[in-house]
């Protein structure tokens, strides 16, 4: 029978519930347990698919085409399991389902209410996780205790312990223990108030994880345990870590997995922990002896979470090469007027990530040209591949009007366009190619060498495609269409064989990268960047050249 861990948060948002849940998932998996995870989000959107990346962050896509919260990216990277659309539920999707049932008459004319109908639907979705064969399902509740929006979720998980049995449910509550400089003290009162608020809804936490910028001493732990009615060992200090990949190790040292296993009645003797693989990741994170500078030229660079999986994929490739990676954020709209070819030349590699809409397109096209002509390693992702195709058509094939029909319906050279059968679809939400799609890679191509295979599967999230009418023209001009859909109709990969690394993919490879298994396309980019860095004198970027450096 599946056991359940519910992770809630208090005091403040953005404390790291997702990373705490992911770290716990990794620890339990390291004990030989099969783990799945889920995020319950309180917003009224049905899913994050139509939400602004600059406000919400990236949309993480699952194999089955689910458009989900970015925390699912953390889940997959930490527990190394592919999740599904069932792992993300929103208030909007819950209410949509309940209202649809009411319209069909499923409730037999009864008054439809938050309790029991909304809470029952929430519990049903949680129960479905138990049908996946997992030993433990970790469920993160978005928002902060006290928020009006999450009350139905809190009530549902309160009822869930009653339904599933006390020994099959563990409540983990994440709070903040701030340090007040004037008094020189860490304060536990916010944690006490947060737990009190949670208890007012009928939930007594089994474990309290305390975020802070410095370790919480035993005296403070005992005080929190006393005031919040938990064992001393159930107060976990979650101090700021130099890397997110340190968090599982730190949580294990604090005893988080021990307390959760005790609560759930999981024998630790029968499930001893083996952290050797994760310790190796952490060792590589901290043993890098060189730095590679990778520029990300995009639309949403003022909100780095919009490219969270891209950033982590860059770092994963750096770990494998023994290199730290300095991410240089460049607004596409500023290229080339403020960030010229000379400044881009100072970077070791470039990425043009995905996105929607016309803003910044000409800057991305200019970036692609600079990278191609200056032999700067470049990886184009989704829209990034499309602008690489547009740029090559304009400046190498002589198609000066080349464009995507997303941005110009009157272009004489629509090298990027909708598939013919989609042209009459007016509901744009229905035209997306979402989720895992297979691709056939050309023998002897650069991408086939990187993957070590000629048949691969990658996740997609896009509406426009390489126009197959132009394939022969591009091939003759030197840009190789090195990967296609199995039926040959859709171009999935392009590359320039004469370039150190000029590779584009219609997919989103960042969603499948792992800290101990970097994605081949990112690894190839970092390899080429490493060669480039070795071949020229070190250079320190002028801070004026970039928007943000992390």
Buried b vs exposed e over 346-384: b needs ≥16 C-beta within 10 Å? bbbbbbbbbbeeeebbbbbbbbbbbbbeebbbbbbbbbb
Q: Is the peptide bond preceding residue 322 cis, with omega within 30 degrees of 0?
A: no
Strand partners, 323: 290
Cα gap 91→25, rounded to integer Å? 24
Catalytic one of 382, 460, 481, 492: 382
Cα gap 332→336, rounded to integer Å? 8
Give yes or no for a contact between 12 and 62, defined as CB atoms under 8 angstroms apart: no
Counting beta carbons within 10 angstroms of the beta carbon of residue 215, is it exposed (0 to 12), middle (13 to 18) or buried (19 or more)? middle
- Is 74 one of the catalytic residues? no
Give yes or no for a contact between 40 and 87, defined as CB atoms under 8 angstroms apart: no
- Is 261 one of the catalytic residues? no
- Find all residues with CB under 8 Å of 452, minimum gap 6, and list them: 520
Cα gap 132→510, rounded to integer Å? 25
Catalytic one of 173, 252, 508, 519: 508
- Is 508 one of the catalytic residues? yes
Catalytic one of 391, 406, 458, 510: 510
Q: Per the structure block, which two tokens stand in for 373?
A: 């002509």
Cα gap 170→425, rounded to integer Å? 47
Residues noted as catalytic: 382, 508, 510
């Amino acid at each position: 029978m599946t056991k359940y861990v519910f992770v809630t948060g208090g005091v403040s948002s953005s404390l790291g519930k997702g990373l705490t849940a992911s770290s716990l998932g990794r620890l339990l998996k390291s004990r030989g347990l099969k783990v799945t995870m889920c995020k319950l989000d309180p917003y009224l959107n049905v899913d994050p698919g139509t939400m602004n990346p600059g406000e919400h962050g990236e949309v993480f896509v699952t194999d089955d085409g689910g458009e989900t919260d970015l925390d699912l990216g953390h889940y997959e990277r930490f527990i190394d399991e592919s999740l599904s659309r069932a792992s993300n539920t929103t208030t909007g999707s819950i209410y949509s389902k309940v209202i649809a049932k009411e319209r069909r008459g499923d409730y037999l004319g009864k008054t439809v209410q938050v309790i029991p109908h909304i809470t029952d639907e929430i519990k049903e979705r949680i129960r479905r996780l138990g049908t996946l064969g997992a030993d433990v399902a970790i469920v993160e509740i978005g928002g902060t205790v006290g928020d009006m929006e999450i009350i139905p979720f809190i009530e549902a998980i309160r009822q869930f312990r009653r339904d599933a049995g006390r020994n099959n449910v563990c409540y983990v509550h994440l709070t903040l223990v701030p340090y007040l400089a004037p008094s020189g003290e860490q304060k536990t009162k916010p944690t006490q108030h947060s737990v009190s608020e949670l208890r007012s809804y009928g939930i007594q936490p089994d474990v309290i994880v305390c975020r802070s910028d410095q370790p919480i001493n035993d005296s403070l732990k005992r005080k929190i345990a006393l005031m919040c009615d938990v064992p001393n060992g159930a107060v976990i200090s979650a101090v700021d870590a130099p890397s997110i990949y340190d968090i599982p190790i730190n949580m294990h040292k604090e005893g988080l997995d021990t307390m959760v296993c005790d609560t759930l009645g999981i024998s630790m003797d029968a499930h001893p922990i083996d952290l050797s693989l994760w310790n190796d990741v952490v060792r590589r994170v901290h043993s890098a002896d060189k730095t590679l500078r990778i520029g990300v030229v995009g639309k949403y660079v003022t909100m780095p979470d919009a490219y969270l999986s891209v950033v982590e994929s860059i770092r994963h490739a750096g770990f494998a090469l023994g290199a730290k990676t300095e991410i240089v954020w460049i607004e596409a709209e500023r290229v080339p007027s403020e960030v010229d070819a000379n400044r881009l030349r100072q970077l070791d590699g470039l990425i043009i990530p995905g996105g929607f809409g016309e803003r910044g397109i000409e800057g991305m096209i200019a970036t692609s040209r600079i990278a191609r002509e200056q032999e700067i390693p470049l990886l184009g992702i989704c829209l990034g591949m499309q602008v690489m195709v547009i740029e090559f058509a304009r400046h190498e094939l002589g198609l000066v009007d080349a464009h995507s029909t997303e941005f110009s319906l009157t272009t004489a050279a629509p090298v990027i366009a909708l598939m013919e059968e989609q042209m009459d679809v007016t509901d744009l939400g229905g035209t997306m190619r979402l989720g895992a799609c297979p691709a056939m890679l050309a023998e002897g191509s650069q991408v086939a060498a990187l993957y070590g295979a000629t048949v691969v599967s990658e996740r997609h999230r896009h509406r426009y495609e390489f126009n197959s009418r132009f394939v022969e023209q591009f091939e003759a001009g030197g840009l190789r269409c090195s990967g296609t859909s199995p039926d040959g109709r859709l171009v999935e990969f392009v590359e320039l064989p004469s370039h150190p690394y000029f590779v584009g993919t219609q997919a989103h490879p960042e969603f499948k990268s792992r800290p101990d298994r970097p994605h081949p396309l990112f690894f190839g980019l970092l390899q080429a960047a490493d060669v480039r860095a070795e071949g020229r004198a070190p250079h320190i970027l002028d801070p004026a050249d970039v928007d943000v450096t992390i």
